[in-house]
Amino acid sequence: MDLKSFSKRIIPIQSRLYRIARMYLPVIQDAEDMVQDTFLKLWNRRHDLDRYESLEALAVQTVRNGCLDKIKSHGYSKTISGDAVMERTETGQTPHQEIENNNNEELIRRLISKLPEPQRLIIHLRDVEEYSFEEIESVTQLEINNIRVILSRARKKIKEEYLKYHRYGTRD
């Protein structure tokens, strides 16, 4: 695969890859680096990319694995305070409706990123990226029925945690 046809297929999905990376990595810079890394990794495999039915599915897998490796890598979670995202929420106790809404969105974003794998990937792919179940299947290699179950759990969990937060003000 030459650079031209590679770019043609990868450029349209780069923001999507970025959003997925962002879901795993709280720091923007890290997510950007991850997208660049992914491009390189795929480009280095360009000779056998044609074997894959969907470059996008492969790219999503690559980003996800890269992010999981990074999270697992020594000290990453220590250097990144998981609550960094949350700070705004804590200070945002004003009654102003707009701020309240923003905080709720931020809260939901954080709740999604705290879900276990593969729940967070699946809920993100479905709800944010609007993937069909078939597309999710090709990324996760899970059966569609199984995907539905996982998605259902993830959605319920987010709601449950959200309500818990608002009822008790607990953050975890």
- Burial class of residue 81, CB neighbours in 10 A (0-12, 13-18, 19+): exposed
Please state the closest distance from residue 14 (CB atom) to other proteins, in A. Answer: 5
Please state the closest distance from residue 43 (CB atom) to other proteins, in A. Answer: 5
Q: How far apart are CA 123 and CA 140, in angstroms?
A: 12
61 or 153: CB nearest other proteins:
153
Under 8 Å between Cβ of 10 and 59: yes
Q: Which residues bind other proteins (CB under 8 A)?
A: 3, 6-7, 10-11, 14-15, 17-19, 22, 32, 35-36, 39-40, 43-44, 46-47, 101, 104-105, 107-109, 127-130, 132, 147-152, 155-156, 158-159, 162-163
Q: How far apart are CA 56 and CA 59, in angstroms?
A: 5
Please state the closest distance from residue 146 (CB atom) to other proteins, in A. Answer: 10
**In this structure, what DSSP letter does residue 52 have?**
S
6 or 76: CB nearest other proteins:
6
Under 8 Å between Cβ of 125 and 117: no
Please state the closest distance from residue 40 (CB atom) to other proteins, in A. Answer: 7
